[in-house]
Amino acid sequence: MTALLDIVGLTRRFGGLVAVNGVSFTVARGEVVGLLGPNGSGKTTVLNMISGSLKPSNGDIRLNGEKVSGWPAHRIARKGIARTFQLVRILPSLSVAENIVTALAFRRAPLWGAAADTAARDLLAKVGLGGRGDERAENLTYIDQKRMELARALAADPQLLLLDEWLAGLNPTELRVGIDLIASLRDSGITIVLVEHVMEAVRALCGRCIVMTAGSKIADGATADVLRDPQVIHAYLGASHA
Amino acid sequence: MKRIATAAGSIALVAALAAAPFFLDAYGLGLMMGLAGYVTLATAWALFSGPTGYVSLATVAFVGIGAYCVAVLNETLPYPLVLLIAAGIGLAVALVVGLSTLRLSGVYFVIFTFGLAELIRQLVTFYEINVTGTLGRYIFLGITPEHIYWQLLALGVITMLLRWWIGRSRIGLALKVIGDDEVVASHVGIDIARTKLALFAISATIMTLVGAIQAPRWTYVEPAIVFNPTVSFLTLIMALLGGATRLWGPLLGAVPLFLLFEWLSANFPNHYSILLGLLFILIVFALPKGVLSFIEWMWRRARSTDDSGART
């Protein structure tokens, strides 16, 4: 298996603060990798650097061997990296279907017009929003906005999907639905990196986990092993539990 | 059906407007010329500023460039070529300005564009005084007011069609996304800088042409006249009044305001600026999204109270 994503020595400084410090890991095609760690450990910053919202201070990010670090976000998006945001970002002035069309219209193999509309409605059906394309995006409930955002990310036909706490803030029933939805994406072969605090989801979805604390990687391996790792338990729960 | 009716109505309107010079006296024609100019300027302004939310006060910079191109070149080159060169210069300036400033956002962009108009005006003044030795220039072209009016009308129609077409194209969608959320825009693959630059350049080129076409009407041109910042403010307020995000908004804002300003400047020449400022404040406070959105909102509210009334 060749690595789809290859990250070497990734570092980001904000003034004197080193938010991400020399993080390296690879993600193989078809893998679902969880990126874990306490709040402020730099997970979202890593995601932001992969998607191009932030430029790395140091280090390389390669997609299929091609260096994409330092590129503007729109070029990285066109290479096939799509994402959702920690705080859901909808396009309030557009309809639900148009929200999806945005990603279809500007990806590498763009769709426009009737073809884009059909594809958008298919994607909405896939995430459980079938028949609701004409509603206004801002009128959707929170979970439905998250579904829409996921459909928008899928519309980009990504090689790599980044989910930033996509399951946060859902109630237990919604969480079940959400996990099943991501599981169905995994089964369709999409490579996913997800930042997540919901352990139930991490155990159900991720074959492998990477744990960060204070900007550095402290563990990387099979999910069950990583979650037993004393260092990881220490990072999360403190010394007395380790 | 509705689209056909709109198209037929638009064509009839343009035909009627094109025939207007045959029925109007000199004053009426002058009024229509000014009107056509401002409708075009407001529509061109909204082309860029409506969807992006970038408030530009550079309108007069481009209008002035257009007028000055005609003033400088009208004796040496044929008129159509002069227009072409003016458009080219406007486009070039817009690209340079756009590349350097579209990174600015919010109030910084507003101030920069205002400063740009002043800068160009001062540069032209400096050049004229120190190099050519005269401040004013004369434009003697055998172009009748009717021809100026028809050219402005044609440019206005083209601008409207362009806006309509952009609204339905991928660029139009890109602009809406940028207006909603730039982070999302870049993450779905939209090149924000290039999209903004393209629209800014198109809008500025049209403004330059408005200035160039109107120039023969003035006969005498000097920097204080053609770079008068009031033009920028009027354009802005017309587009805002009608609704800068709507296709017909700038038109609906420009017509009543132009007529009002005409009346104000004729009847209250000394208090004109004060009244203008008050109106400005009033529009921004009372109708921030424009008249069209306001009417729609009222309409929706009236309908929803009807519905609830029917249910009880």
Domain positions in chain A are 3-241
Mean pLDDT of chain A: 91
On whether residue B12 sits in a domain, the answer given is no
On whether residue B71 sits in a domain, the answer given is yes
Residue closest to B233 by CA, chosen among B57, B36, B41: B57
When pLDDT is averaged across residues B153-163 and rounded to a whole number, the result is 95
Q: Enumerate the residues of chain B whose CB falls inside 8 A of the CB of residue A83.
A: 187
C-alpha A66: how far from its chain's center?
Answer: 20
Q: What is the pLDDT of residues A20-54, one digit of tens each?
A: 999 999 999 999 999 999 888 999 999 999 999 99
By C-alpha distance, the chain A residue nearest B168 is A113
Least confident range of B80-89, B116-125, B139-148: B139-148
Q: Enumerate the residues of chain A whose CB falls inside 8 A of the CB of residue B187.
A: 51-53, 73-74, 77, 82-83
When pLDDT is averaged across residues B83-107 and rounded to a whole number, the result is 89
Strand order in the sheet with A81-83: A81-83, A160-164, A191-195, A32-36, A208-213, A216-222
When pLDDT is averaged across residues B178-192 and rounded to a whole number, the result is 92
**Residue A14 phi, psi (nearest 5):** -115, 95
Confidence of residue B57 (pLDDT cuts 50, 70, 90): very high
User: Which of B171, B186, B187, B245 would you mutate first to test chain A, the one with the most A CBs within 10 A?
Assistant: B187
Q: Rounded distance, CA B262 to CA B237, Å?
A: 15
Residue whose tokens read 């530009």: B56
Whether residue B189 and residue A85 make contact (CB cut-off 8 A), yes or no, is no
Mean pLDDT of chain B: 88
Does the pLDDT of residue B311 top 50, yes or no? no
On whether residue B158 sits in a domain, the answer given is yes
Residue A83 token pair? 């994402």
Does the pLDDT of residue B284 top 70, yes or no? yes
When pLDDT is averaged across residues A171-184 and rounded to a whole number, the result is 90
When pLDDT is averaged across residues B2-31 and rounded to a whole number, the result is 89
Whether residue B189 and residue A108 make contact (CB cut-off 8 A), yes or no, is yes
Judge whether B86 and B208 are in contact, CB under 8 Å. yes
The length of chain A, given as a count of residues: 242
The pLDDT assigned to B312 comes to: 41
| CATH number of the CATH domain containing B84 | 1.10.3470
The pLDDT assigned to B107 comes to: 84
Q: Rounded distance, CA B207 to CA B210, Å?
A: 5
Q: What is the per-residue burial (b if ≥16 Cβ within 10 Å, else e) of A173-189?
A: ebbeebbebbeebbeee
Closest partner residue to A102 among B173, B183, B192, by Cβ? B173
For A3-241, which CATH class? Answer: alpha beta
Q: Rounded distance, CA A223 to CA A46, Å?
A: 19
Whether residue A53 and residue B186 make contact (CB cut-off 8 A), yes or no, is yes
Whether residue B187 and residue A51 make contact (CB cut-off 8 A), yes or no, is yes
On whether residue B26 sits in a domain, the answer given is no
Q: What is the pLDDT of residues A193-204, one digit of tens each?
A: 999 988 889 999
The pLDDT assigned to A242 comes to: 54
Confidence of residue B210 (pLDDT cuts 50, 70, 90): very high
By C-alpha distance, the chain A residue nearest B180 is A91
Residue B150 token pair? 């028809």
When pLDDT is averaged across residues A60-86 and rounded to a whole number, the result is 94
Number of structural domains found in chain B: 1
The pLDDT assigned to B300 comes to: 81
- Count contacts between A and B (CB, < 8 Å): 68
Closest partner residue to B188 among A93, A112, A152, by Cβ? A152
On whether residue B62 sits in a domain, the answer given is yes
> A10 or A231: which carries more pLDDT confidence?
A10
Q: Enumerate the residues of chain A whose CB falls inside 8 A of the CB of residue B190.
A: 74, 102, 106
Q: Enumerate the residues of chain A whose CB falls inside 8 A of the CB of residue B184.
A: 89, 91, 102
Does the pLDDT of residue B36 top 90, yes or no? yes
Q: Rounded distance, CA B288 to CA B291, Å?
A: 9
> B106 or A207: which carries more pLDDT confidence?
A207
Q: Enumerate the residues of chain B whose CB falls inside 8 A of the CB of residue A107.
A: 188-189
Helices (H), ranges, B188-290? 192-218, 223-226, 230-242, 249-267, 272-286
> A85 or B105: which carries more pLDDT confidence?
A85
Radius of gyration of chain B from its Cα atoms, rounded to whole angstroms: 20
Give the CA distances from residue A8 to residues A35, A38, A42, A69, in Å, rounded to whole numbers and listed in that order. 16, 22, 15, 11
SS (H, E, C) chain A: CCEEEEEEEEEEEECCEEEEEEEEEEEECCCEEEEECCCCCCHHHHHHHHHCCCCCCEEEEEECCEECCCCCHHHHHHHCEEECCCCCCCCCCCEHHHHHHHHHHCCCCCCCCHHHHHHHHHHHHHCCCCCCCCCEHHHCCHHHHHHHHHHHHHHCCCCEEEEECCCCCCCHHHHHHHHHHHHHHHHCCCEEEEECCCHHHHHHHCCEEEEEECCEEEEEEEHHHHHHCHHHHHHHHCHHHC
User: Which of A50, A74, A85, A150 would you mutate first to test chain B, the one with the most B CBs within 10 A?
Assistant: A74
Confidence of residue B88 (pLDDT cuts 50, 70, 90): very high
Whether residue B176 and residue A94 make contact (CB cut-off 8 A), yes or no, is yes
Confidence of residue B136 (pLDDT cuts 50, 70, 90): confident
Q: Does A105 touch chain B (CB under 8 A)?
A: yes
List residues of B whose CB lies inside 8 A of any A CB: 170, 173-174, 176-177, 179-181, 183-192
Does the pLDDT of residue B5 top 70, yes or no? yes
The pLDDT assigned to A240 comes to: 66
Whether residue A106 and residue B170 make contact (CB cut-off 8 A), yes or no, is yes
Residue whose tokens read 């609204």: B167
User: Which of B188, B192, B194, B195 would you mutate first to test chain A, the one with the most A CBs within 10 A?
Assistant: B188
Beta bridge partners of A161: A82, A192
Q: Enumerate the residues of chain B whose CB falls inside 8 A of the CB of residue A93.
A: 176, 179-180
The pLDDT assigned to A234 comes to: 84
Does the pLDDT of residue B309 top 70, yes or no? no
> What ipTM was reported for this prediction?
0.89
Whether residue B190 and residue A92 make contact (CB cut-off 8 A), yes or no, is no
When pLDDT is averaged across residues B31-51 and rounded to a whole number, the result is 93
For residue B129, what are the domain limits? 32-311
On whether residue B44 sits in a domain, the answer given is yes
The pLDDT assigned to B280 comes to: 82
Confidence of residue B121 (pLDDT cuts 50, 70, 90): very high
Residue closest to B245 by CA, chosen among B94, B98, B46: B46
How much of chain B exceeds pLDDT 90, in percent? 48
Whether residue A91 and residue B189 make contact (CB cut-off 8 A), yes or no, is no
